[in-house]
Amino acid sequence: IYTLIVLAIIFLIIKGIVNFFSQLNFESKEINNTTPSQEKTLKAEDENLFESQASKKFLNENLVTEKETSQKTENTDPTPSDQKLESKEAIVEEKQKDEEVKPVKKEESDQTQDQAKNLNGKLPYENFYPAPTQLYTIVNNADETSDPALLPDSIKNAMDTQKQNVYIVAAEGDTWISYKVDEQKIKRYVLRKGRTLFLQGETILLFMGNYNVSKVFLNNQLISAQTKTGVKSFIFPQSEAENYEFPLFPSHKGLIYSAKEYKEKMAPKPSN
């Protein structure tokens, strides 16, 4: 009897162990069967979420990059040198306009208004003085008179012995000139280097701003004049100098006058 009881207990223990491992094996199989499907489901959901976010980010980055690229392309397109020059010029013009519209100080404005009132519509006072009677000298037998590059035969042959014949050559540089022939209007312009001007009349008034780079011929003869600054006034014939005053051609606000015209419209000398 004792042996049977022991065997029964051993049997029950073995059966319990077998049942335990069987249950454990069954649960393990269930876990193995269900876990992959959950992982697949989670992975699929995660992948969809990632793809959605990544797509949006990718699109946004591409849009930004494309926009930046297009802006850089527009800003870095090579422009012709002419356009650059025009732009630089536009910048300068705009700067000048800005400078022109700067407000004028009240003191300066009042001073300008006072000057205008004192003028009463007349030209500002100018200090005139008698023209010197010795303005130039004739250079006899000058080499320049025999140089056809300076004094061509066509000019020599055009000389009228009854008039003043003045021939100007801008030999070494530009010179700005103002002149009046007889009763004609005053003319002025820049005589560029290498250019020439031939004047003919009974009386010629001439102002030169850069005489030292020029050659001046009177009646086919070279003349010489002394000037340190290059500014020089001439009256042809020189004998007429006593009938004129300097400055020959005073100007105001861009308008040029003869001395006679200016004096007729000039305001009286200020008392101060």
Average pLDDT in the 126-144 region? Answer: 97
Q: How many residues does the chain have?
A: 272
Quick one: which H or E segment has residue 236?
strand 232-236
Neighbours of 160 (CB within 10 A): 11
Residues 23-78: tens digit of each pLDDT:
656 555 555 554 444 433 333 333 343 334 444 443 444 333 333 333 333 333 33
pLDDT at 237 over 50: yes
Instruction: Label residue 234 left, alpha or beta by phi (over 0 means left) and psi (-120 to 50 means alpha).
Output: beta
Residue reference for tokens 């004792």: 2
Q: Which amino acid is at 123?
A: L
Residue 10 — very low, low, confident or very high, per pLDDT cuts 50/70/90? confident
Of 80-84, 243-247, 249-253, least confident by mean pLDDT is 80-84
Average pLDDT across the chain, whole number:
75
- Whole-angstrom distance, CA of residue 102 vs CA of residue 14: 112
